[in-house]
Amino acid sequence: MLGTMQEWPLLCHKIIDHAGTCHGDREVVSRSVEGPIHRTNYREVRKRSLQFAKRLTMEGVRSGERIATMAWNTWRHLEAWYGITGIGAVYHTLNPRLFPQQIIWIMNDAEDRMLFVDLTFLPLIEKIAAEVPSLRKIVVLTDAAHMPATTLADVICYEEWLAEADDDFDWKSFDERTAAGMCYTSGTTGDPKGVVYSHRSNVIHAMTSVFPDVIGMSSGDSMMPVVPFFHANAWGTVFAAPMSGARFVLPGPGMDGKSIYELLTKEKVTVTAAVPTIWLMLLQYLEKESGKLPDLDRVFIGGSACPRSVIDAFQTKYDVKVRHGWGMTELSPIGSVCVLNADHDELTPAERLDVQCKQGQPFFTVEMKITDDDDKERPKDGKTFGRLKVRGPAVVDHYFKRRSPEQFGEDHWFDTGDVAHIDEHGYMQITDRSKDVIKSGGEWISSIELENLAVGHPQVAEAAVIGVPHPKWDERPLLIVIRKPDQMPSREDILGFMQGKVAKWWMPDDVVFVDSIPHTATGKILKTELREQMKDYRLPDA
């Protein structure tokens, strides 16, 4: 027997309808690409999204067609997402930090039909547009006054394009499993792979993001996603903030410490989200300028392991709560969050910090386990490492145009490629990527744990650990360090600092000082490249 309740499809545009109707006056504040701060509200964003949707249909865009965006977080980018999804088309965010050849490859794989691009990235698009034959029109996200001269054909200024339609439009209606958005993995191994989010997965993920123990958002909040919309589905914030009615503050191209600080304080942001490198930069800025964060209540940190020193600084110096989360493009993207609860009341401050360095518990809708290489589940004892596998309604089932049997088992457990342990309370801690874990004498050493420890040294700016060949142990850890400006810590200083904080056999065999460490387009250490750079290095005793 079926229930007798209504079928109400979970569609993205229902979110902006809700925000526009129930939280219509709530501000959407953006640092525009042209410079000034721009102010609008959810009522206007909804109206312009409807206008956008109508204008797209005038282009002949049909359901399922991919519409690319290469843009900062602004109100125009926001209305583009809702306008695109509102007719069943698919927003496809492009990461401008990728190599041009990768962007061309991705756009051709996605067969993008139109592109909405910020002024910042027009020179890049001028170089590559000819190599994307599916692309029929490029819309520059600006007004007539700022429209630059360009060598491209079929280019139009956004405000003029949008003005050709009015907002008298009804959203299209369709199955909630319809594709809504698309994002490619960063492709550190092999070609990038497309993940296609559905309306249903986006709406479910937004509902879980606003849970108090996830990002947590309400109509009393001012939410600022510093994480770009083009990184892993904007961490779901484009849907979660309007769904909760939170005021939305969008940093546009201002990604430096000063610009972020300015918005955090002037716009009284209460909750924000970004990768650890952004927060390291902000903390350095605060230190230098004696800044304060009186309105900020919590900061969501994910994308790579958050150093203990960052969690500690936010909490003890600035009285800001830290939510350390784990996720990935393949998950919409948040999968777990670390929140302290009554179970931790008895712990000392140092022990509480230990817990907060973990990536935390999966929330309702995410199932999680660890297995060995033969798919046998490993114990949840907080020590034993295993391959991290997840499943749920906002977890990828297969990649765009591809099905890979190794990653998607018949039981739908997705192998994340991460290595983790899970404790008896379900708190998960990432110990490595499966490709980066150091296999020494048949045991696994976590490169991430060693990196976190090394960056805790006050004179270390950044650290990376890779496994290098060893005749007896197969691999041993090598620590690669960038020193802070004007600081000259020695190999012995750093190893001495780490001594006693990890098992003896985990200690790096050597330290190499460098001026730079390669990163991926999403800010992660590019270990493949680092291993290549260090291929001629020999350990002292090897």
* Distance of closest approach, residue 236 Cβ to ligand AMP, in angstroms: 12
**332 touching ligand AMP, by CB under 6 A:** no
Q: Is 500 exposed, middle or buried (0-12, 13-18, 19+ CB in 10 A)?
A: exposed
Give the residue, chosen from 68, 274, 313, 328, that forms a contact with ligand AMP under the rule CB under 6 A: 328
Q: How far is CA 269 from the centre of its chain?
A: 19
- CA–CA distance, 316 with 332 (Å, rounded to integer): 32
CA–CA distance from 150 to each of 51, 77, 118, 362, 480 (Å)? 26, 21, 13, 48, 44
Helices of type H across 59-157: 75-85, 100-110, 122-128
* 288 noted as active-site residue: no
DSSP label of 179: E
* Distance of closest approach, residue 247 Cβ to ligand AMP, in angstroms: 26
Give the residue, chosen from 103, 522, 527, 530, that forms a contact with ligand AMP under the rule CB under 6 A: 522
The angle formed by the CA atoms of residues 23, 29 and 32, to the nearest 5 degrees, is 145
Q: What is the chain's Cα-based Rg?
A: 23
Size of the site for ligand AMP (CB under 6 A): 21
Residues of this chain, 359-378, that bind ligand AMP according to CB under 6 A? 359
- CA–CA distance, 288 with 281 (Å, rounded to integer): 11
* 439 noted as active-site residue: yes
Strand positions, DSSP E, 199-250: 222-225, 247-250
- Of 209 and 416, the one with the shorter C-beta distance to ligand AMP is 416
Give the residue, chosen from 41, 102, 237, 304, that forms a contact with ligand AMP under the rule CB under 6 A: 304
CA torsion angle 518 522 528 531 (round to 10):
30
* 329 noted as active-site residue: no
Give the residue, chosen from 225, 254, 327, 386, that forms a contact with ligand AMP under the rule CB under 6 A: 327
**329 touching ligand AMP, by CB under 6 A:** yes
Site string for ligand AMP, 170-189 (x = CB under 6 A): ---------------xx---
Both tokens of 417, joined, read: 């490629």
**273 touching ligand AMP, by CB under 6 A:** no
Give the residue, chosen from 72, 326, 385, 506, that forms a contact with ligand AMP under the rule CB under 6 A: 326
CA–CA distance from 498 to each of 263, 437, 494 (Å)? 37, 19, 6
* Distance of closest approach, residue 462 Cβ to ligand AMP, in angstroms: 15
* 520 noted as active-site residue: no
- Of 418 and 509, the one with the shorter C-beta distance to ligand AMP is 418
Active site residues: 185, 330, 439, 444
Q: Contact positions toward ligand AMP, by CB under 6 A?
A: 185-186, 232, 302-305, 324-329, 333, 359, 416-418, 430, 433, 522
